[in-house]
Structure 1
Amino acid sequence: MLLHLIRISKKSFKRTAIFVACIVLIFLLLDTVFPFKPHIQYATQVTAHDGVVLSAFLSRDDKWRMYANEKEITPQLIKTLVHKEDQYFYYHPGVNPFAMSRAAFRNISSGRRTSGASTITMQVARLLHPRPRTYLNKIIEIFRALQLELHFSKSEILQFYFNLVPYGGNIEGIKAASLLYFGKPPQLLSLAEITTLTIVPNRPSSLQPGVQNNALLEARNTWLLRFQDEGLFEEHVIRDAIAEPIHIKRRGVPRLAPHLSVKLQREFADQPVIRTNLKLQQQRQTEEQVSNYINRLRGQNIHNAAVLVVNNETMEVEAYVGSADFNNPYDGGQVDGIRAVRSPGSTLKPLLYASAFDQGIITPKKVLNDVPGNFSGYEPENFDRHFNGPVTTEFALANSLNIPAVRILKEMGTSSLINQLKKSGFQTVKKQEKELGLSMILGGCGVTLEELTRLFASFANDGNFQPLQYVKEQKKTGKTNHIVSKDAAYLITDILTQITRPDLPANFDNTYHLPKIAWKTGTSYGKRDAWSIGYNKRYTVGVWVGNFSGEGVPELSGANTATPLLFSIFNSLDYNSPKGWYHAPENVQLRKVCAVSGDIPSDFCDHQIVDRYIMGVSAYRRCSHMRYIFTDGKVSYCTYCLPEKDFGKKAYANLAAELIAYYEQQKIPYPKLPPHNPLCERVFHDGAPIIVSPNEGSEYFIRKDEPQQIQLACQAANDVEAVFWYVNDKLFKKTNPNEPVFVSPPLGRVKISCSDDKGRNSDLWIKVSSF
């Protein structure tokens, strides 16, 4: 009998095992045929460096469904939820058969649905794929729950639940509920707040937060007392939670750094969390400074500003303020001033001078002529419309003089500077490349504050260009792109650190509030844009001030409008920086130069000064600011007409033609060469007059009924006393070298010639048309 029972038992066990194995095989087959791959559309969160939410955007299905990572889901939150919703969560395979049996018995005995048996896993399956509540869908839900348990860990399933649990309306997930109802992230919730959020999903209509707060308070305290009875928390913890009042209301989503958030949301639309490098305190502080500063300037009809703060050591963007007020529709608050294309004014000059240093064209003490000039029809002026005559390179840059910059660009070539700008990532310059000329160095091109700040950060990093790091996930190439050499970057920094310059705001003069930074200002044509970009060892800060409408303001300038905000930001950001200052590289050495020319001293140089230069790069030119002339005191002689006696050799200033013309125009006395021997029969070709008006190859249009005149002007050597103008090889007029002449030219192709009293001649051709 016993053997018979054992045989029956073995057969039953075998049949059961086969049945279970078949069930498992069928389940695995169905799992392969109908895989469960959760695809959740999350709302996009933009977070600060420390994980605090800066801004959030609705998901594609218009839900505030915010992703919460494991660090944001605290043990207390998990403990409370699991105890309330599914105490056997960690022990069942996704389905609790005992709970299902109990629920089935109660529902059948009462004749109606009195209780459910859904586990947390089953709820997750239903939240991932909502279906009407039918018995068939319940079976599918059970199957999906088993799949979840097969492919995901318990902690991952809990994370799904916390991210999907509904709170009424379009709010889903514990993080969205925590931020929108309590204004804080879930890891900062108290036990009372946790309990409140765990009971809302069961009765979202009757316990709507912010509407039925009294009913919510009563239900919360009921559950807290139940937790106390069941020994879930200590008595004093429950007592403190019950005593905590409910301060719950529907809040708006965070809206810090809105311009950067919008930019990144477009770039990373499918990413649930975009982790930026912004420092929350710096962002808030900078936004407040910009807002307060513009409020003070509104009376001057200046309505907007933009600021970008970059950490030079990491190239991470730590503050991004696109406008003074994002919510101001009247002044274009939603325009991103950091990415808007504007005229740079003089802010590109440091790159020009640094490139010229690297090409050996100039050194800081090299003397340049700040005098009027005509560059193929382009006649630039300085910002103050004054000229300074001979000035040093460092004076020209520190004072942002226009004429010396144009002269350097002409010598260096516009293509060279364009290539430098392209290497520095100036996108608009790439598009405008074929249209750019000498005027680009004075603002005749388009740039953004982002590009300028990145450029000056390269100066701060010894001339090494690196892309800005907006998000933590951004890949760093590790490649170093040298825009300029470390030596040239140091020379630029040394010049831009000087404080004896006109772009120092008057209220910062001789004050301890002046930060230790190198900075450059710029003001665009028509006073539409005011720029000030500065840097030290730690930070680079870019500031733009103006109106997004493009309206110019007479009071607007980089020095007095943008620089005070730059200084204010640096003082709050990194006043008395512990990082120290820059030191001269090994290749930057000192040498004596002539104070008059900035070149290596010659026999004439009795006043010498010390200059920095780059070894092996900077030009080694002998000074030639003086030259010997054979003269008897009344006339000068060349070797061809030198008399036998009664003459001597005397040194005279060797002045450039444009400098002589400037001295003559301004009535500035200068040592003139004696006129050349009138009996000399030799024809000279060197030093011929330079025709500055009209322009070679230009086409002029003249009205038939009102013929206009064209100005004739030239620059002649300082030993010239008279010039002769010819039109189509016919003498038109004899004048002094600096006297303007006007002529009504004939139609067609016209030859203009200018000869001096030494027989030297220059020709050019123009075309004259009528309309």
Structure 2
Amino acid sequence: MTRAARALLLFFLCVGLLWGLDAAFPVPPAPQYSPLVLAADGSVLHAFLNPTQKWRMKTELREITPALRATIIEKEDRYFYYHPGVNPLALVQAAGRNLFGRGRTTGASTITMQVARLLEPKERTVGNKLLEMLRALQLEAHYSKAEILQLYLNLVPYGGNVEGVKSAALIYFQQPPDYLSLAQTVTLAIIPNRPRGLVLGQNNDAIRQERNRWLRRFQQQGLFPNQDIEDALLEPLDVQRHAAPTLAPHLARRLVRQFPGRASVASTLQRGKQAKAEDLTRNYVRRLHELGITNAAVLVVNNRTRAVEAYVGSADFRDALNKGQNDGVQAVRSPGSTLKPFLYALALDKGLVTPKLLLPDVPTNFGGYQPENFDKRCSGEVPLDRALAYSLNIPAVRVLSDLGVPTFTTQLRAAGFRTVAQRAPHLGLSTILGGCGATLEELTNLYVTLANGGNYQPLQWQHHEAKQRPAAPGTALFSDGAAFLITDILAQLTRPDLPVGYETSIRLPKIAWKTGTSYGRRDAWSIGYNKEYTIGVWVGNFSGQGSPALTGSDIATPLLFDLFNTLAYNSPNNWFQPPASLDFRLVCAETGRPPGENCPNQLIDYFLPGVSSGLRCQHQKEVLLSADARYAYCRACAPATGYRREMYPNLLPEVAAFREAQGIPYRRRPPHNPGCQLVRGGREKAPSIISPLANTEYVLNKGEQQQLLLSCTTDNEVRQVSWYINDQFLRTAPATERVFFRPPAGALKISCADDHGRNTDIRIVVNEL
């Protein structure tokens, strides 16, 4: 074998041996870092202890400034870029000093060797020193010089449980490493050699003297400009240990759980907005404690990017007594009336309603469900815009009944309502009044959808997602025309949910907003938006305990206004403009429909061309009367001569019954011709029994002589009705009278017959205890 072949063989044997040793003794794993959640600008919002309960925040390469790099290398290992991990010359010099006792005893450790020791701490012996040197050579083979320097800066100790330059910079100087002054940078460079003797906050004077000694040494070496050194020498050192950043604790915990193992997660939160939102929420809830209200949650969203810029899960994360660690942004609560704008937007797009269309607001039985308005009052008939602005319940339930619950819940599912998606087959008309679960996150994004012309997209939590989000239109939940009309209504100031004292406030923000209060006053909501931002507010108790004072208008809206005034005070002074899909038309003031033949009072209303109903107004109806005006004729029973024509209000039976019961005067048509055989016995306008509820079981207390209410709605021609219990006559009463009776126990058949011979039956069961 030739000499060259032997050399080549020897080379491959050495390479194989090194490869085998590298595989048998792999590089130590990367250190476990403290999980960090960053703001949109890259600053640290929230830091967590690493699994070993240390503050070890990862210093990124971009955070290693030239000054920090130069200081560390000059102080620790000036030949760092020239040796393979071990400096032979330094080893010889150290051996000579240690052997002959001349100069300071040293170990000639390079930065790479220190990294090896920090990754695998061992007792300082000659054997371990040799292993440390081998590890240094191995690290140099696996990592670049920049990566080794980064590892060093992430592992150096600063006393206690603080490790790494970034941890020390944030905990002691409350700044990231790349924001430190030269004096601060040198301070952090000198401490790792004496982490127990030079403790920031305890030995500041000694640290300042040592810092200045090194600054003068660097000046002699020409490492930094003289003026920079002189300025650094004059800089005082008055530092103390601060708590690690703890902003946005709920979102931080959410993101860390979502992305386990990451050293940092970049969020979309704006640091200034987050801090202000937390302060406002905490201070506001403190004032509510005496009312039995202990918590609140806030979400601030940028409408253009859908990026969440502030996220407050509770008033105080550390308040264990009031369950402060619960996340109110994700908590499923009753949404109260906050879904009404979306119901009306869908109804507008279906052509069922327009803003000035009059809706019945009277006690109504919707197949056994009898909603009530929040103030227990009814208005008879109200235009849609007033029904929404005043958050009336009965008109909303009627519109949902016309639209269909499945149509409504399908759109909510498309908007990411998870609880609605789970319970959709079981939801009914009560959905619109809070009978379904929703979160502040889901509701706020629906209002962002309103602000974006009906286009829905998920909210953005991570910075890179918001930055790289495609400009796709998203899912169209409703039209831009419907979105504008709802916004126009919600921006009105003449409404009952304006907080007391805000009527004349010069700081009242220009926003569209909607409030909501859940059953039992357990949840108060207020969600508002302008062109730039949408802010959602929930106030309540995580325990579910209600409070008499807890309403959306009185409790949630003041916080909403304060947030807008503080966070969005410099928003552009512009507002939403009507889209091209909208147009104007004249409508009758009596009904809100396009004018018919007898509509002298007209007003202007928006409508969606090609979508909104063109059914003309018929608020008056021609009636054929006998000569003495005692009876009305239908076309079938009208005589050939001797009758006259007059116009009468064409009211819905339930509206007529409400006016009668309330004593509201209106022109009532005479009773129908008693001799007419065509309609006698007909069921097309039979009475509708609204109490008791059909197919319902009633439990009465035997000792209290409790009674049941009999009530019905009838055609406005009906004057009297007769009530029957199990086909036994009970009594005759005016059609609008509320009749009470003591029912026998057992199954009951209740019948109501009007004075036209039309009859309705229902069945109930009565049990006595």
Write the distance in 2 (CA, Å) between the matches of 1:512 and 1:210.
Answer: 47
Conserved in 2, the CA contact under 8 Å of 1:122 and 1:144? yes
Correspondences of 1:613-632 after superposition (within 5 Å): 613-632=607-626
Write the distance in 1 (CA, Å) between the matches of 2:656 and 2:158.
Answer: 83
Determine the structure 1 residue equivalent to 2:158: 167
Moved more, 91-100 or 310-319: 91-100
Moved more, 16-25 or 267-276: 16-25
Write the distance in 1 (CA, Å) between the matches of 2:566 and 2:223.
Answer: 48
TM-score by length of 1: 0.93
Correspondences of 1:310-329 after superposition (within 5 Å): 310-329=301-320
Conserved in 2, the CA contact under 8 Å of 1:377 and 1:695? yes
Conserved in 1, the CA contact under 8 Å of 2:276 and 2:567? no
Write the distance in 1 (CA, Å) between the matches of 2:236 and 2:640.
Answer: 115
Determine the structure 1 residue equivalent to 2:665: 669
| Count of aligned pairs between the two proteins | 761
- Within the candidate set 643, 646, 659, 1:647 is matched to 643
Conserved in 2, the CA contact under 8 Å of 1:532 and 1:559? yes
- Within the candidate set 135, 140, 145, 2:136 is matched to 145
What do you get for the CA RMSD once the two structures are aligned?
A: 2.6
Amino acid at match of 1:207: L
Conserved in 1, the CA contact under 8 Å of 2:455 and 2:473? no
Identity of aligned residues (%): 51
Matched, 1:466 2:438: no
Matched, 1:638 2:629: no
Write the distance in 2 (CA, Å) between the matches of 1:250 and 1:576.
Answer: 36
Write the distance in 2 (CA, Å) between the matches of 1:24 and 1:110.
Answer: 39
- Within the candidate set 343, 349, 358, 2:349 is matched to 358
Determine the structure 1 residue equivalent to 2:494: 500
Determine the structure 1 residue equivalent to 2:731: 733
1:406–1:38 CA distance, 2 compared to 1 (3 A)? same
Q: Deviations over 1:9-36 (max 9, x none)?
A: x97x998887666544432443345443
Amino acid at match of 2:727: D
Write the distance in 1 (CA, Å) between the matches of 2:580 and 2:203.
Answer: 74
Conserved in 2, the CA contact under 8 Å of 1:182 and 1:247? no
Write the distance in 2 (CA, Å) between the matches of 1:671 and 1:698.
Answer: 37
Give the drift of 1:120: 1.0
Conserved in 1, the CA contact under 8 Å of 2:722 and 2:732? yes
Write the distance in 2 (CA, Å) between the matches of 1:511 and 1:614.
Answer: 35
Q: Secondary structure at the match of 2:463?
A: coil
Determine the structure 2 residue equivalent to 1:701: 699
Matched, 1:101 2:95: no
Write the distance in 2 (CA, Å) between the matches of 1:14 and 1:258.
Answer: 66
Conserved in 1, the CA contact under 8 Å of 2:480 and 2:581? no
Write the distance in 1 (CA, Å) between the matches of 2:541 and 2:239.
Answer: 41
- Within the candidate set 261, 279, 285, 1:288 is matched to 279
Determine the structure 1 residue equivalent to 2:754: 756
Amino acid at match of 1:629: V
Give the drift of 1:366: 1.0
Write the distance in 2 (CA, Å) between the matches of 1:687 and 1:296.
Answer: 56
Amino acid at match of 2:565: N
Write the distance in 1 (CA, Å) between the matches of 2:129 and 2:247.
Answer: 44
Matched, 1:767 2:761: no
1:579–1:14 CA distance, 2 compared to 1 (3 A)? farther
Q: Secondary structure at the match of 1:507?
A: coil
Conserved in 1, the CA contact under 8 Å of 2:419 and 2:437? yes
Q: Deviations over 1:91-143 (max 9, x none)?
A: 11222122222223333444999221221112112222333334443343333
Write the distance in 2 (CA, Å) between the matches of 1:289 and 1:747.
Answer: 58
Give the drift of 1:544: 2.0
Conserved in 2, the CA contact under 8 Å of 1:755 and 1:761? yes
Determine the structure 2 residue equivalent to 1:571: 565
Conserved in 2, the CA contact under 8 Å of 1:42 and 1:66? yes
Correspondences of 1:443-592 after superposition (within 5 Å): 443-474=434-465, 476=469, 480-575=474-569, 577-578=571-572, 580-592=574-586
1:647–1:246 CA distance, 2 compared to 1 (3 A)? same
Write the distance in 2 (CA, Å) between the matches of 1:62 and 1:292.
Answer: 32
TM-score by length of 2: 0.93
- Within the candidate set 222, 230, 244, 1:239 is matched to 230
Q: Secondary structure at the match of 2:501?
A: helix
Conserved in 2, the CA contact under 8 Å of 1:538 and 1:579? no
Q: Deviations over 1:530-568 (max 9, x none)?
A: 221111111001122334444433333222322222222
Write the distance in 1 (CA, Å) between the matches of 2:480 and 2:139.
Answer: 58
- Within the candidate set 168, 178, 181, 2:172 is matched to 181
Conserved in 1, the CA contact under 8 Å of 2:28 and 2:120? no
Q: Any gaps of 5 or more consecutive residues in structure 2?
A: none
Write the distance in 2 (CA, Å) between the matches of 1:219 and 1:765.
Answer: 94
Correspondences of 1:256-275 after superposition (within 5 Å): 256-275=247-266
Q: Deviations over 1:593-642 (max 9, x none)?
A: 22211222221222222221222222221222221111021111123322
Q: Secondary structure at the match of 2:690?
A: strand
Q: Deviations over 1:455-485 (max 9, x none)?
A: 1011111111111111224485857122222
Give the drift of 1:434: 4.5
Correspondences of 1:320-399 after superposition (within 5 Å): 320-399=311-390
1:644–1:394 CA distance, 2 compared to 1 (3 A)? same
Amino acid at match of 1:407: R
Amino acid at match of 1:610: I
Give the drift of 1:191: 2.4
Write the distance in 1 (CA, Å) between the matches of 2:183 and 2:767.
Answer: 88
Conserved in 2, the CA contact under 8 Å of 1:516 and 1:576? no
Amino acid at match of 1:673: R
Matched, 1:713 2:720: no
Conserved in 2, the CA contact under 8 Å of 1:753 and 1:762? yes
Q: Secondary structure at the match of 2:17?
A: helix
1:364–1:451 CA distance, 2 compared to 1 (3 A)? same
Write the distance in 2 (CA, Å) between the matches of 1:516 and 1:479.
Answer: 26
1:195–1:113 CA distance, 2 compared to 1 (3 A)? closer
Conserved in 2, the CA contact under 8 Å of 1:537 and 1:579? no
Moved more, 26-35 or 508-517: 26-35
Conserved in 1, the CA contact under 8 Å of 2:625 and 2:631? yes
